[in-house]
Chain A
Amino acid sequence: MVEWTEFERDTIKDIFSKIDYDVVGPAALTRCLVVYPWTRRYFGIFGALYNAEAIMGNEMVANHGKKVLHGLDRAVKNMDHIKESYCELSQLHSDQFHVDPDNFRLLADCLAIAIATQWGSAFTPDIQAAFQKFLSVVVFSLGSQYH
């Protein structure tokens, strides 16, 4: 089981209470698709993803970004049972979507960067560390049911 300090618990709750899901979710997924173009392989049905402008203007990407960000809510509410919370989603990403789990780490990095662009210096090194620790647990959990 993961051990969380009080600072880490407070930081995670604080981040998710303050971010605008409608901005950060789309921004994170957009960055992932632009910076790591191989991730586009999973979103063929989204239509135009051939360059940064197309991705940034793609409504399906934006909507999916919000959905993915809300997918973290269960981890925020249940920080002591994150792995269990993602069993089903992990199976789904493995058996149905066939996503290489190393890409979860890339999306997590893009999420940190998306928040950094919004918060500036308020996204301090300590807050970044806590957030990245939280994301690494989610990333691990999402990969846990792969076989």
Chain B
Amino acid sequence: MLSKREKELIIEIWTRLTPVADRIGAEALLRMFTSYPGTKTYFSHMDITPRSAHLLSLGQKIVLALAEGSKDIANLMTSLAPLQTYHAYQLRIQPNNFKLFSHCMIVTLACFMGDRFTPSSHAAMDKYLSAFSAVLGEKFR
């Protein structure tokens, strides 16, 4: 459950990150690949070396989707429907990996924002990413 203030914090953070969406997204992915090498198995068809065009492009897509979702959290089930289908039926990602990515996204935000990533911001973002991941995995079975 997100309070009004938490929703504001989430929108604030993603708005600030949108101009550097590709960098932030790519870094979160790279952190995930480095800490959890099993996650690389889903990307064998891509060049996921640091600063590669693929990594930046994918990173950007992910961050922009997260930013867009944050504008209307109550309707994530509707707005994420196409991505739900894609992740469930085409990508078929083991859903635990969403948690691993969420953690690495939070580490990336912490590095980027320093002390401005307060415990309250951290809590809000953790809840949002959990909700986003849950909706994304809704159609898996």
Contacts and interface: CB of A to CB of B under 8 A. Distances in A.
Chain A interface size, under 10 / 10 to 19 / 20 to 34 / 35 or more: 20 to 34
Given A125-B34, A129-B34, A109 B103 contact: yes
Interface of A: 30-31, 34-35, 52, 55-56, 109, 112-114, 116-121, 123, 125-126, 128-129, 132-133
A113 B107 contact: yes
Contacts of A128: 31, 34-35, 107
A34 B125 CA distance: 12
A117 B103 contact: no
Nearest to A52: B120
Interface stretch (B14-22, B84-92, B111-119): B111-119
A129 B123 CA distance: 22
Interface in B10-40: 27, 30-31, 33-35
Contacts of A132: 35
A112 B103 CA distance: 10
Contacts, number: 58
B119 A55 contact: yes
Contacts of B126: 35
Given A125-B34, A132-B35, A35 B111 contact: no
A113 B35 contact: no
Given A31-B119, A34-B123, A55-B119, 7 more contacts: A31-B122, A35-B126, A56-B119, A113-B110, A113-B122, A120-B111, A123-B111
B117 A125 contact: no
Given A31-B119, A34-B120, A125-B34, A117 B113 contact: yes
A34 B111 contact: no
B106 interface: yes
Contact of B117 (A55, A112, A117, A126): A117
Contacts of B106: 113
Nearest to B119: A34
Contacts of B27: 125
Interface string B41-63: 00000000000000000000000
Given A128-B31, A129-B35, A120 B119 contact: no
Contact of A117 (B30, B31, B33, B115): B115
B117 to A, nearest CB: 6
Nearest to B115: A117
A35 B119 contact: yes
